Amino acid sequence: MKRSAKRKRVVALTAVVFIFFVIFAGYTVFRLSEEIRQRFDGKRWSLPAIVYARPLELYPGLRLSLEMLEEELQLSGYRREKKEKGAGSYARNGSTLRLVTRDFQYPSGPEPSRQLTITFAAEHIATLTSGEGGKPVSLARLDPARIGSFHPTVHEDRLILTREEIPRLLVETLLAIEDRDFYSHHGIAPLGIARALFANIRAGKTVQGGSTLTQQLVKNLFLNRERTLWRKAQEAVMAVILEYHYGKDEILTAYMNEVFLGQDDNRAVHGFALASQFYFRRQLQDLRPDQIAVLVGMVKGPSAYDPRRNPEKCLERRNVVLENMATHGILTKAAYTEAAARPIAEVAVQKNGFNRFPAFLELIKQQLAGEYREEDLRTNGLRILTTLDPQLQYQVEKNLQETIAALENKQGYQDLEGAVIITGRENGEVLALAGGKNPLSPGFNRALQARRPIGSLVKPAVYLAALKKGYTLASPLEDRAVSLNIEGSGKWRPENYDHKEHGRVPLFTALANSFNLATVHLGMDVGLDNVRAAIRDLGYGEAIEPYPSLLLGAVNMSPFAVSQMYQTIAAGGFYTALRAISSVMAADHTPLTRYGLAVEQRFSPEVIYLLTHAMQRVVSEGTATALLSSPLKGLAVAGKTGTSDNFRDSWFAGFTGDHLAVVWLGRDDNTSINLSGSAGALKVWEKIMREVVSSPLKPVEPEGISWMTFDRATFAGGSNGSAGTRLPFIAGSQPLASASPVLPSKGKTKKDAAGVFETISGWFK
Amino acid sequence: MKEHKVQYPMNNLSPPSLFSLCRTLAVLFLVLMILGGCATPRKAEPPLGPVVPPPQEYKPVTGPAAALYTEAEKALQSGRLAEAEMLLERALRIEPRNPYYWHTMAQVKYRQGKYRETIQFCLKADSLAGKQPQLATRNKELLQQAKKAAQPQ
């Protein structure tokens, strides 16, 4: 009796324990199941936003050399072959280049891959045809280069494939090597484990893994790298759960996208699609059997079998995979022999633009900041189409660096820095941007963040205000010493660069030669408020103090802000916010934000026409005549030099028919660099623009303009054809032949200057 | 900017093809009326012929981006305005100073009901038009319409 009672108790206890165990196990499974579903259904991976350069438009007549196009293709990750084959390949033959573009989804829709044949003649595209028949094409664009992404410093990167996009050969090979029974097991394969165990015991070491693909996926997605029995059990349970909820194809696709296949500095290469790009520069569907074998072989150990670092081991492993492919009938005997005979080749790391342009990416980030959170940029896989012109960017970086090095050499110091911005003259698109002489060092972006006195770069705003008020290019200005009382800080006595007075000079000469005294007289007459209004209308949004020293550029701006102001002049008086992004698409290519073209007229075409003419004279007879002895002479550049007090800053801003480029040089600690605008920044500008294909500046003449010759000595207008300087005038404002200069209605040039200044000196605060 | 629907009154600018067709028909009608007045059966016979002066054609001057411009015009005619806008931006990247492209951009903005932008694009087109009277005339017409439409009702 006692024994049976005792037995009953034991049975009861066991039952209770068992029930608790079942409940606990059930709960655990349920919880795991929920967790798995949540993770698997939701966003499986955080995808960094991808940033693209502008697509290159090709058309007959385009000024582009074969070498330039090839550089562009290399940057975009195209591969060179003997004969172009498959999307993203090209072949050169004499002056002909044949290529196959890659599919690309634009906000306006998909543009499918196409074959193009381009012939070159004398630095331009002679013919552009498509397909075997050689059908002429009037215009075609290359899919844009991927230039970067937004991600944490250490990050995973991948290109997501769908099941349909995975080549059959890859699937068959992967299953043959990693999980033969994938399509029949339920997440775990006891037979496989037994087989692996047997093989391992026989070999006396681990030669086979028993994990199914599902287990490997679970391990990669949900678990840490710990190798304990408990984790192994967890992995098995989760694999079964995953199989229960999801189909084989879905699991296989996830595996293909998840698997870790190598390291590229801080970037972990995940998934076969990215690995194919990273190692072979090919799309997955274009890989040969031997290349697929390399990638599948790497699953076992991405760094041990890295084709670049360990080519011998990689080759050995690849051949094991190839043999397996042959034995399983995936490869024919002939195909096997051919593949196995191939060396590990075509895996060299090639120059590409990926994350090569940190300064430009920073501008992108800044422009996106209003609309997207940092988190969105790192995780949502946004596609950002930008305006960057990679060719131009390389020229900017190279020439800024080289010219600074040469200047440092000459000056005998080391820490000269610089910044450059190039924009499209009419549309305000940022084509290139350098934030310092070392393009790869992130950090202080001088183009955006350095705020420096702009010196004489402010003068066009002063002269614009004057022209608006009725001054003409021929108006006489007094370039004489001036002393202004500034309340609280005594007298201000500006001087000319050459410490001389030039007497009475025509307005255009004063701007061309950057005469300070004439400009101060002019600016005081026009009124500081009008000058401030002109600066604001040009596009500078921040507050400006109304000190007279403003007239000589005692206002701090970033090179980017200067570009914005000069853009309005270059674009004929139309303000356009400088843009570096054209559109943003979601990961699935849905257009999200478009940054469209918008213009706003801020100045009449007539006054801008006059100002532009005077700025062309800066180059033809003023402070930037250095350009006359350059190949750029024919571009009729309009520009302005700028130098700040004690030669701390050297500036040049100038535009051609197509481009506006602003260059700044200086030191981060704000000490003197002993370079004027023309001795420093202009040199950089010249070197860069020399390498850029740009058309000459030919401003469209507005209706109300008439030309007249003008005598610089007497200030008299002459008839057309007589000797003198030909100048444009707004109709009705031409100087009279009688040598009495036309003064603006409220002109005060004849009045005693000191008297005028005394009456208004109360403003200077 | 939020987009809003706009009703287009009949007297608004119509697509160029329709525009010129109407004009052609009007001129044709007039000529037929006149001819009808002093008609002899022989003269009335050909309905179309050299008697009718050809309507003043609006022939845009285009360069390498011509194909994009043509596509943009088509998109504009069939009301695919966002597409037309993107095509024109692309065209303007290639030929930044082509006043015809800027003018068509103004047309797109007008159809979108963005009259302030229409005005600005008209001004831009005008500033680049130089000596092209037909474009200048069309530009001024559109500018006036946009100014009228932009005024608060």
Token reading at A127: 């013919």
Say whether B66 and A138 touch across the interface (CB within 8 A): yes
- Average pLDDT for A397-419: 95
* Single-letter residue type at A572: G
Residue where one domain finishes, among candidates A145, A171, A187: A145
- A389 assigned to some structural domain: no
Position A345 scores a pLDDT of 79
How far apart, in whole angstroms, are the C-alpha atoms of residue A464 and residue A471? 9
Handedness of CA A486, A488, A493, A495 (dihedral sign): negative
User: For A225, which DSSP code?
Assistant: S
Q: How far is A592 from chain B (nearest CA, A)?
A: 13
**Closest residue to A426, CB basis, from B96, B123, B130:** B96
Using the Cα atoms of residue A503, residue A506, residue A509 and residue A515 in order, give the sign of their dihedral: positive
What are the b/e assignments for A474-489, b being 16+ CB within 10 Å? bbbbbbeebebbeeee
Q: Residue B32 pLDDT more than 70? A: no
DSSP state of A164: G
For residue B124, which residues of chain A lie inside 8 Å, CB to CB? 572, 574, 599, 601
State the pLDDT at residue A1.
54
Point out the domain boundary residue: A94, A119, A145. Answer: A145
Report yes or no on A508 lying in a domain.
yes
Q: Which tens digit of pLDDT belongs to each residue from A554-572?
A: 999 999 999 999 999 999 9
To the nearest whole Å, the CA of B96 is away from the closest chain A CA by: 6
Residue A220 pLDDT greater than 50, yes or no: yes
Dihedrals φ, ψ of B138, to 5°? -60, -40
Q: Which chain B residues have any C-beta within 8 angstroms of a chain A C-beta?
A: 64-68, 82-83, 85-87, 89-90, 92-94, 96-97, 105, 117, 120-121, 123-124, 127-130
Q: What is the model's pLDDT at position A48?
A: 84
Kindly write down the DSSP assignment for every residue of A50-116, as one continuous string.
EEE-PPPEE-TT----HHHHHHHHHHTT-EE-SS--STTEEEEETTEEEEEPPPEEETTEEE---EE
Facing A597 at nearest CB: one of B65, B83, B89: B89
Q: Say which of A178, A235, A243, A606 is annotated catalytic.
A: A178
The answer to whether the CB of A269 falls within 8 A of the CB of A149 is no
Half-sphere exposure for A721 (CA within 13 Å, toward CB): 1
Task: State the Cα angle at A641 between A638 and A643, rounded to 5°.
Answer: 170
Phi-psi region of A509 (alpha: psi -120 to 50; beta: other; left: phi over 0): alpha
Q: Which residues of B touch A61 (CB under 8 A)?
A: 64
Are residues A134 and A161 located together in one domain of the fold? Answer: no
Does the pLDDT at position A671 exceed 70?
yes
Q: Which residue type occupies A490?
A: G
| Cβ neighbours of residue A674 closer than 8 Å, sequence gap 6 or more | A411, A647
Q: Give A153's pLDDT tier (boundaries 50, 70, 90).
A: low
Give the one of A424, A594, A700 whose C-beta lies nearest to B127's C-beta: A700
In the block, tokens 């010493």 appear at: A481
* Residue A456 annotated among the catalytic residues of the structure: yes
Residue A76 annotated among the catalytic residues of the structure: no
pLDDT at A298: 94
Domain range holding A334?
Answer: 155-341
Interface test with A, best of B68, B80, B86, B116 (most A CBs within 10 A): B86
Q: Do residues A379 and A43 lie in contact, with contact meaning Cβ atoms separated by under 8 Å? A: yes
* Strand boundaries in A348-390, DSSP class E: 383-386
A207 in the same domain as A136:
no
Residue A420's φ and ψ, nearest 5 degrees, are -140, 140
Asked whether residue A236 falls in the same domain as residue A91, the answer is no
Shared-domain flag, residues A127 and A224: no
Identify whether A320 is part of a domain. yes
pLDDT at A574: 98
Q: Which of A84, A110, A145 is the last residue of a domain?
A: A145
User: CA neighbours within 13 Å on the CB side: how many for A646?
Assistant: 5
The per-residue pLDDT for A30 is: 86
Indicate whether A111 and A162 sit together in one domain: no
Cα separation, A374 vs B26, in Å, equals: 61
Distance from CA of A133 to the nearest CA of B (A): 21
User: Residue B25 class from Cβ within 10 Å (0-12 exposed, 13-18 middle, 19+ buried)?
Assistant: exposed
- Give me the mean pLDDT over the A267-282 stretch: 89
A622-649: pLDDT as tens digits: 999 999 999 999 999 999 999 999 999 9
Q: Would you say residue B125 has pLDDT above 50?
A: yes
Assign residue A118 the CATH number of its domain: 3.30.2060.10
Residue B56 is predicted with a pLDDT of: 54
pLDDT tier, A344 (very low <50, low <70, confident <90, very high otherwise): confident
Q: Kindly report the CATH class assigned to B58-153.
A: mainly alpha
Expressed in angstroms, the distance from the first to the final Cα of chain B is 20
Does the beta-carbon distance from A601 to B130 stay under 8 Å?
A: no
A333 domain-assigned = yes
For residue A555, the one-letter residue type is: V
Spatial distance between the Cα atoms of A755 and A758, rounded to a whole number of angstroms: 5
Distance CA B105, CA A263 (A): 48
Task: Name the residue among B65, B96, B117 with its Cβ closest to that of A427.
Answer: B96
- Residue A540 vs residues A206, A454, A465, A566, A718: alpha-carbon distances, Å: 69, 13, 15, 10, 39
Q: How confident is the model at residue A34 (pLDDT cuts 50, 70, 90)?
A: confident
Query: How close B144 comes to chain A (CA, Å)?
Result: 16
DSSP state of B53: P
Measured between beta carbons, the chain B residues lying within 8 angstroms of A425 are: 96
Is A623 inside a domain boundary? Answer: no
| pLDDT attached to residue A623 | 96
Mean pLDDT of A454-462: 98
In CATH, what number is assigned to the domain containing residue A527? 3.40.710.10
CATH for A335: 1.10.3810.10
CB A220 within 8 A of CB A259: yes
Q: What is the ipTM metric for this complex? A: 0.81
Cα–Cα distance between A322 and A328 in angstroms, integer?
10
What residues contact A44, with CB distance under 8 A and at least 6 apart?
A221, A254, A257, A258
> Looking at the partner chain, which of A139, A594, A700 has a beta carbon nearest the beta carbon of B64?
A139
In this complex, do A427 and B120 lie within 8 Å of one another by their Cβ atoms? no
Indicate whether A169 and A116 sit together in one domain. Answer: no
Q: Which residues of chain B neighbour A54 with C-beta distances below 8 Å?
A: 93
Catalytic position from the list A89, A149, A276, A456: A456
pLDDT band of A205, cuts 50, 70, 90: low
**Residues A138, B67: C-beta atoms closer than 8 Å:** yes
Disruptive mutation site among A54, A56, A57 for chain B (greatest number of B CBs within 10 Å): A57
Give the residues across from A386 on adjacent strands: A581
- The tokens for A115 are 């074959």
A269 lies in the same domain as A289: yes
Note whether A203 and A86 are same-domain residues: no
Q: CB B96 to CB A658 under 8 A?
A: yes
Give yes or no: residues A272 and A326 share one domain: yes
Do A212 and A115 belong together in one domain?
no
Please name the residues in contact with A415: beta carbons below 8 A apart, sequence gap of 6 or more: A667, A668, A669
pLDDT digits (tens, 9 = 90+) for B41-88: 343 333 333 333 334 567 888 999 999 999 999 999 999 999 999 999
Q: Is A329 left (phi over 0), alpha (psi -120 to 50) or beta?
A: left
> Are the beta carbons of A489 and A761 closer than 8 angstroms?
no
Is the per-residue pLDDT at B92 higher than 80? yes
A138 neighbourhood in chain B, CB within 8 Å: 64, 66-67
Structural domain tally of chain A? 3
Q: Across chain A, which distance is largest between two alpha carbons, in Å?
A: 142
**pLDDT for position A734:** 83
Alpha carbons A242 and A264: distance in angstroms, whole number: 31
Position A713 pLDDT exceeds 90: no
Angstrom distance (rounded) from CA A78 to CA A56: 14
* Pairing state between β A109-111 and A104-106: antiparallel
Domain range summary for chain B, segments of one domain joined by +? 13-57, 58-153
- Same domain assignment for residues A256 and A178: yes
Distance (Å, whole) CA A322 – CA A331: 8
Question: pTM, whole model, 2 decimals?
Answer: 0.81
Band of pLDDT at residue A750, cut at 50, 70 and 90? very low
Q: Are residues A272 and A223 in the same domain?
A: yes
